[in-house]
C-alpha cells in the first residue's frame, strides 16, 4: 500500500505572511498590522505591509503552483479585509480579491482549501476585548457564515482555525505574537474556551450557509512525541505523552494536543486539564462542550518535530536526551522525520478521523547561487525523510488524505520577520522575483509519482 490515488498534494501559506496590501481597497487593521509597528516585537522592525505582495501577484503565484503540480493550495483569509470592523459592513473589494484567487486556482486545476483564521484578528475586535470578550464566538459565526455563503459554491474544504495553540499561547501568554499580552490563568482559560466555542460556532455557520455539502475541519499543532525504540513499552509511552499534560502550567497546557483536540473531537476536556485547572472553566461547560464538539469531517495537524521518549519502570514517558550534534533546521528546530509516522498514527487511533498534515517543512539558509538557482539540498533531504515516514503511515493503514508543505514560498515569519525562509519558492523581497528552489522541483517529482519515488 502507498498513498491513495486521490491523495491531495498541496502547499500552504497564511494571509498576513504573503498578501501585503495592508492598507489597500478598504481593508481594516488587524492585530498584526499594529503589533509590527510597535518596537521590540519583530526582527529588525519588519512588517507584513508588503510581504510577498500576493494580493497583486496571485496570478504569478498560481502559475508557479501549476508548474509545481500542486493539487491544492491552503490559504487563509484576512478577516479584516472582508469585515474591516470585524462585524457589520462587508468590504466588497476584499471578497473580490478572494474570488479572483479562488477562481484562478480552479481554472488551473488547483483545489482551494480555505482557512478562516490564521492569527490576524481585526483590530477593531481586539479593542472590544478580542478573544476575551464572551461575544467573540458570535463575531466568528458572522464572519464564517458570510464566507461559507459566498465561497462554498467553489470551495469544498474549510478550516476554522489554524493553530489555536499559537493564537492563545503566544498571543496572550508569552506575548511573542500579536496582540502581545501576558495574561493570568483566569483570562487564559476564558480566551482558550472562547476560541474553541468560536470554532464550534464557525462549524455551525459553515454547515448552515454552505450551498452544497462541504468538508470542515481544524488545523491545530501541539507538542508531539515518538518512541525512542520500537519496544511496545516505549510506543505506549509515546502515545501517552502525546495526549498528556506534562506539568500543571498554562504554558504547557497551550501545547497539549488533547487540550485542543479532545473537546473538539471527543466532547470533553482531558481529565488532567480539569484536575489542574477546572476552577477556571465556566459553569456552562457541559452545554459549551456540545457546541465545541460539532461533527467534523477530517483532522488537520501541523507537524514539524517531536520529542523522543522511553518508558520508565512504571510505563510513564521519560524524555530521551538528543545526542550531541543532533540535526537542526536554520530556526533551530530538531529534525525528527519519525514524527510524520507516529503523529498521524496516534491521532488517527484516538480521534478516528481522516488525517491531513496541514503544515510540514523547514527553515533553511537559502540564497540565489551564482547559477541563478536556489540549491536547498537540506530541505530536499528533509522532505524526502519526512515523506518517507508519512508513506509508512499510509502503508500501515492510517487514513491519510493529504499533505500541505509549509510553505509554498518564503514569507513573513511572524516575530522572525523575513530572517527565516521556509519556502519551496525563493522570494527576493526587494524585487518580488520568485525562483523555484530545488525543493520545489523535488516536490514536483513527488507529486507526479504520487509519492512512489520516495
Residue 195: the pLDDT is 98
Residue 227: the pLDDT is 98
Residue 262: the pLDDT is 98
Average pLDDT score over residue span 299-306: 98
Residue 335: the pLDDT is 98
Q: Could you say which DSSP state residue 338 is in?
A: T
C-alpha cell of 158? 474549510
Q: Specify whether the CB–CB gap between 62 and 10 falls below 8 A.
A: no
Largest CA distance in the chain: 64
| Per-residue pLDDT at 151 exceeds 80 | yes
Residue 154: the pLDDT is 98
Confidence of residue 141 (pLDDT cuts 50, 70, 90): very high
Residue 73: the pLDDT is 99
Confidence of residue 236 (pLDDT cuts 50, 70, 90): very high
Residue 395: the pLDDT is 96
For the CA atoms of 261, 262, 263, 269, the dihedral, rounded to the nearest 10 degrees, stands at -130
Partnered with residue 310 across adjacent β-strands are 318
Average pLDDT score over residue span 315-334: 98
Residue 399: the pLDDT is 98
pTM tops 0.75: yes
Residue 44, φ and ψ in degrees, nearest 5: 50, 35
Rounded to whole angstroms, the Cα distance separating 183 from 274 reads 19
Average pLDDT score over residue span 120-134: 98
Q: Which residues of 358-384 are buried (b: 16+ CB within 10 A; e: fewer)?
A: bbbbbbbebeeeeeeebebebbbbbbe
Alpha-helical (H) ranges within 171-231 are: 185-209
Rounded to whole angstroms, the Cα distance separating 331 from 362 reads 8
| Per-residue pLDDT at 1 exceeds 80 | no
Q: Which positions are annotated as active-site residues?
A: 163, 359
Over residues 371-419, the pLDDT tens digits come to 999 999 999 999 999 999 999 999 999 999 999 999 999 999 999 999 9
- Average pLDDT over the chain, rounded to an integer: 98
Over residues 246-263, the pLDDT tens digits come to 999 999 999 999 999 999
Over residues 55-85, the pLDDT tens digits come to 999 999 999 999 999 999 999 999 999 999 9
Over residues 19-69, the pLDDT tens digits come to 999 999 999 999 999 999 999 999 999 999 999 999 999 999 999 999 999
Residues whose CB is less than 8 angstroms from the CB of residue 81 and which lie 6 or more positions away in sequence, other chains included: 15, 19, 25, 27, 28, 91, 94, 97
Confidence of residue 312 (pLDDT cuts 50, 70, 90): very high
Rounded to whole angstroms, the Cα distance separating 26 from 21 reads 10
Average pLDDT score over residue span 175-204: 98
Residues whose CB is less than 8 angstroms from the CB of residue 68 and which lie 6 or more positions away in sequence, other chains included: 11, 424, 436, 440, 443, 444, 447
Amino acid at each position: 500500500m502507498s498513498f491513495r490515488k486521490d491523495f491531495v498534494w498541496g502547499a500552504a501559506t497564511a494571509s498576513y505572511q504573503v498578501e501585503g496590501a495592508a492598507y489597500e481597497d478598504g481593508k481594516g487593521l488587524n492585530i498584526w498590522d499594529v503589533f509590527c509597528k510597535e518596537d521590540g516585537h519583530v526582527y529588525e522592525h519588519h512588517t507584513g505591509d508588503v510581504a510577498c505582495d500576493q494580493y497583486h501577484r496571485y496570478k504569478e503565484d498560481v502559475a508557479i503552483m501549476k508548474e509545481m503540480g500542486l493539487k491544492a493550495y491552503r490559504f487563509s483569509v484576512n478577516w479584516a479585509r472582508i469585515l474591516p470592523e470585524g462585524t457589520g459592513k462587508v468590504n466588497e473589494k476584499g471578497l473580490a480579491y478572494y474570488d479572483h484567487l479562488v477562481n484562478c486556482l480552479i481554472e488551473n486545476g488547483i483545489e482551494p482549501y480555505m482557512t478562516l483564521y490564521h492569527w490576524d484578528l481585526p483590530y477593531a475586535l481586539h479593542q472590544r476585548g478580542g478573544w476575551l470578550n464572551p461575544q467573540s464566538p458570535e463575531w466568528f459565526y458572522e464572519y464564517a457564515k458570510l464566507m461559507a455563503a459566498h465561497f462554498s459554491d467553489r470551495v469544498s474544504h474549510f478550516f476554522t482555525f489554524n493553530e489555536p495553540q499559537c493564537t492563545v499561547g503566544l498571543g496572550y501568554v508569552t506575548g511573542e505574537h500579536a496582540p502581545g499580552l501576558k495574561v493570568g490563568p483566569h483570562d487564559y482559560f476564558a480566551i482558550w474556551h472562547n476560541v474553541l466555542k468560536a470554532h464550534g460556532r464557525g462549524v455551525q455557520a459553515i454547515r448552515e450557509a454552505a450551498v452544497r455539502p462541504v468538508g470542515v475541519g481544524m488545523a491545530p499543532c501541539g507538542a508531539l512525541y515518538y518512541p525512542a525504540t520500537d519496544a511496545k513499552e516505549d510506543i505506549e509511552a509515546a502515545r501517552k505523552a502525546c495526549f498528556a499534560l506534562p506539568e500543571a502550567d498554562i504554558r504547557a497546557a497551550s501545547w497539549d494536543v488533547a487540550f485542543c483536540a479532545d473537546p473538539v473531537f471527543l466532547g470533553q476536556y482531558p481529565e488532567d486539564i480539569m484536575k489542574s485547572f477546572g476552577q477556571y472553566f465556566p459553569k456552562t461547560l457541559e452545554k459549551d462542550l456540545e457546541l465545541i464538539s460539532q461533527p467534523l469531517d477530517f483532522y488537520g495537524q501541523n507537524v514539524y518535530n517531536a520529542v523522543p521518549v522511553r518508558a520508565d519502570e512504571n510505563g510513564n514517558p521519560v524524555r530521551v536526551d538528543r545526542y550531541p550534534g543532533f540535526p537542526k533546521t536554520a530556526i533551530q528546530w530538531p529534525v525528527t522525520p519519525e514524527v510524520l509516522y507516529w503523529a498521524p498514527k496516534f491521532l488517527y487511533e484516538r480521534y478516528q478521523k481522516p488525517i491531513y498534515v496541514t503544515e510540514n517543512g523547514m527553515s533553511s539558509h537559502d540564497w540565489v547561487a551564482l547559477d541563478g538557482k536556489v540549491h536547498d539540498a537540506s530541505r530536499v533531504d528533509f522532505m524526502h525523510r519526512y515523506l518517507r515516514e508519512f508513506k509508512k503511515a499510509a502503508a500501515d493503514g492510517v487514513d491519510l488524505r493529504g499533505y500541505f508543505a509549509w510553505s509554498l514560498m518564503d514569507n513573513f515569519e511572524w516575530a522572525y520577520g523575513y530572517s527565516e525562509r521556509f519556502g519551496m519558492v525563493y522570494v527576493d523581497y526587494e524585487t518580488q522575483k520568485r525562483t523555484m528552489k530545488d525543493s520545489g522541483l523535488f516536490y514536483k517529482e513527488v507529486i507526479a509519482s504520487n509519492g512512489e519515488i520516495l
